[in-house]
């Protein structure tokens, strides 16, 4: 199941039951987006699918026809009670894994509420919840609910070493029975910012340009290739990063004092993230480094406190999750570091001069 930014915790459990084949019947109001409104009460009736029965009818010639009939059992459920939800789920779903994707799009209060209920799910059932989201905190779920420490395992799917990426290129080439030019793989990996997507896409485009669409019957060596040109082509036809930056500058609902508004603290936090060199974006920007960058570039040499910046980036992250379609930065509150979660953006930043970036921001978004 895939999370929606408008969901409540009741909507999450409703979606889980629906994915298991249950049919929910709730006395509810239908909003513009036709979402389940559980704000007035979480009580619902669920039609739980039971084991299908096969019925048959014998024909006069010895043949016959069979039909499948699924019976449902009507049961009450409180979508706010995890024990109630698990009891219903055990009747409808006999697998073990429950995958929840795009978890980062949910408001933090809903994430926290769900994390609290995960501990009960761990103790009351054998289900394994796989929560997928875009963040770089080492253990986001344990941060949301410290009681989950030791009960969850964090998997960083974005952590690819150079050796891992080299294996992707070499094993892919072997399956296609092709050979890339000498040093191509090394040059590609050196410039790909640790992104497996960029490596795979560059290799795909190299094969496309060479008219290789299937595994070759005989070993084929591809001629001259430029890793730089392939990656530049991905950037040119990819995300409009200047527009994403303008979107961050225009985010509303971030509380600032009168002085912070006068100095445009929110805008300059965004600018500091944008002005930071690509190498620093790869490693992550501590709050004190953001503070230094603001002071370096601000027309009045404004020098906010680390606490002020921490409050702004916390609100910036929350607003970014809800209001923008593409997440660029993630704040690790445990280490107090702002990290870029889009390797394509880092590649774009590495290829842009700072003055050109300033011109794009000022021209398109205003100062």
pLDDT in tens, 216-230: 999 999 988 899 999
- Please state the pTM of the whole predicted model: 0.68
Task: Give the angle subtended at the CA of 171 by the CAs of 166 and 173, to the nearest 5°.
Answer: 100
Phi, psi of 340 (to 5 degrees): -90, 130
Confidence of residue 42 (pLDDT cuts 50, 70, 90): low
Nearest-angstrom CA–CA distance, 242 and 348: 10
Nearest-angstrom CA–CA distance, 276 and 14: 43
pLDDT in tens, 93-145: 888 999 999 898 888 889 999 999 998 898 899 999 999 987 777 788 888 89
**Domain segments of the chain: what residues?**
9-148, 162-236, 241-365
Place of tokens 């999370």: 3
Contact present, 249 and 365 (Cβ < 8 Å):
yes
Nearest-angstrom CA–CA distance, 344 and 54: 53
Contact present, 327 and 342 (Cβ < 8 Å):
yes
Considering the domain 162-236, what is its CATH architecture? Orthogonal Bundle (1.10)
- Which secondary-structure segment (H or E) carries 57? strand 53-58
């Amino acid at each position: 199941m895939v999370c929606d930014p408008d969901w409540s915790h009741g909507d999450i459990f409703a979606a889980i039951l629906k994915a298991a084949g249950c049919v929910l019947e709730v006395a509810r109001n239908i909003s513009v987006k036709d979402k389940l409104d559980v704000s007035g009460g979480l009580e619902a009736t669920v039609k739980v699918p039971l084991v299908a029965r096969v019925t048959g009818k014998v024909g006069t010639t010895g043949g016959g026809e069979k039909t499948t009939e699924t019976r449902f059992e009507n049961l009450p459920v409180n979508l706010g009670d995890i024990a109630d939800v698990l009891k219903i789920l055990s009747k409808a779903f006999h697998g073990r894994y429950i995958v929840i994707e795009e978890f980062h799009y949910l408001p933090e209060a809903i994430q926290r509420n769900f994390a609290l209920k995960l501990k009960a799910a761990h103790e009351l059932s054998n289900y394994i919840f796989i929560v997928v989201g875009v963040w770089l905190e080492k253990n986001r779920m344990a941060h949301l609910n410290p009681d989950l420490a030791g009960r969850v395992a964090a998997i960083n799917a974005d952590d690819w070493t150079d050796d891992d990426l080299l294996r992707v290129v070499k094993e892919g080439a072997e399956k296609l029975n092709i050979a890339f030019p000498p040093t191509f793989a090394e040059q590609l990996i050196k410039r790909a910012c640790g992104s497996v997507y960029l490596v795979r896409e560059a290799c795909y485009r190299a094969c496309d340009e060479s008219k290789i669409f299937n595994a070759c019957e005989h070993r084929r060596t591809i001629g001259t290739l430029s890793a730089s040109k392939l990656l530049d082509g991905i950037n040119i036809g990819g995300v409009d990063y200047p527009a994403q930056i303008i979107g961050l500058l225009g985010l509303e609902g971030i509380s600032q004092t009168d002085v912070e508004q006068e100095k445009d603290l929110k805008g300059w936090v965004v600018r500091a993230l944008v002005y930071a060199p690509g190498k620093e974006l790869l490693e992550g920007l501590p709050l004190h480094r953001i503070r230094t960058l603001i002071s370096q570039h601000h027309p009045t040499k404004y020098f906010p406190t680390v606490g002020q910046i921490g409050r702004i980036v916390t609100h910036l992250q929350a607003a970014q999750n809800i209001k923008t379609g593409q997440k660029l930065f993630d704040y690790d509150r445990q280490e107090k570091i702002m990290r870029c979660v889009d390797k394509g953006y880092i590649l774009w930043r590495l290829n842009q001069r700072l003055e050109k970036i300033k011109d794009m921001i000022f021209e398109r978004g205003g100062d």
